Amino acid sequence: MSSTLDKVEENIFKLTSNEIKNNEILPQAQVYNGFGCTGGNVSPQLSWTNPPKNTKSYAIICHDPDAPKENGWYHWLVINIPSNITSIKQGEKIKGATETITDFKTTGFGGACPPKGHGIHHYNFTIYALNVEKLDIKKDTAPKEVESLVISHSIAKSTLCGLFERK
């Protein structure tokens, strides 16, 4: 017998991953390869369900708010994901989507690699359902500006948080 809470839960916009478990340590595949880190530097598999009916596109942002830098560190920004796409494979580039520059000064995914001894960092992978089909943003737009525009058009979001620390 399902409860009212179960019915509410099954209608919530939700992000899941085969690799990332909420509030658990990130797999080595999602760790950067450089700056003293030796991970796979591969974007994770992600799936999302129950988007609002009026969703016209999606955006994904991976952000580390604990980084010792104003506004934290942006690891991945993907915009203009078509509304018919609801999952991506590990390492996949999304056809029709645009990746903008990260704080690594490149496009694409940049894995976790906090400063040694800086404690546990939180890597927030957020999917945004947007009310527009396309955001007119250049690939070299500053990550904070991209995030602000995404948020201004967001009608729903869901976040998975992966953790990582370098001792």
Can you name the residues that pair with 103 across neighbouring β-strands? none
- Rounded CA gap, 32 and 86, in Å? 25
> Residue 58's closest CA among 85, 26, 89?
85
Sheet holding 46-49, edge to edge: 14-16, 46-49, 87-88
Label residue 134 left, alpha or beta by phi (over 0 means left) and psi (-120 to 50 means alpha). Answer: beta
Q: Where do runs of H (alpha helix) occur along 86-135?
A: none
Domains of the chain, by residue range, sit at: 23-164
Give the pLDDT score at 136: 95
Q: Which of 162, 163, 160 is nearest to 118 (CA)?
A: 163
Q: Cα–chain-centroid distance for residue 62?
A: 3
Are the C-beta atoms of residues 123 and 116 closer than 8 Å to each other?
no
Q: Which two structure tokens, joined as six digits, stand for 111?
A: 């894995």
pLDDT confidence of residue 9: 54
CATH code of 23-164, in short, is 3.90.280.10
- What is the pLDDT at residue 7? 47
C-alpha to C-alpha distance for 105 and 77, rounded to whole angstroms: 12
Backbone torsions φ then ψ of 148, nearest 5 degrees: -60, -45
| Gap between the Cα atoms of 2 and 125, Å rounded | 30
Per-residue pLDDT of the chain (167 residues; tens, 9 = 90+): 444 444 445 679 999 999 999 999 999 999 999 999 999 999 999 999 999 999 999 999 999 999 999 999 999 999 999 999 999 999 999 999 999 999 999 999 999 999 999 999 999 999 999 999 999 999 999 999 999 999 999 999 999 999 999 98
> Any idea what DSSP says for residue 60?
E
Longest dimension (CA), the chain: 52
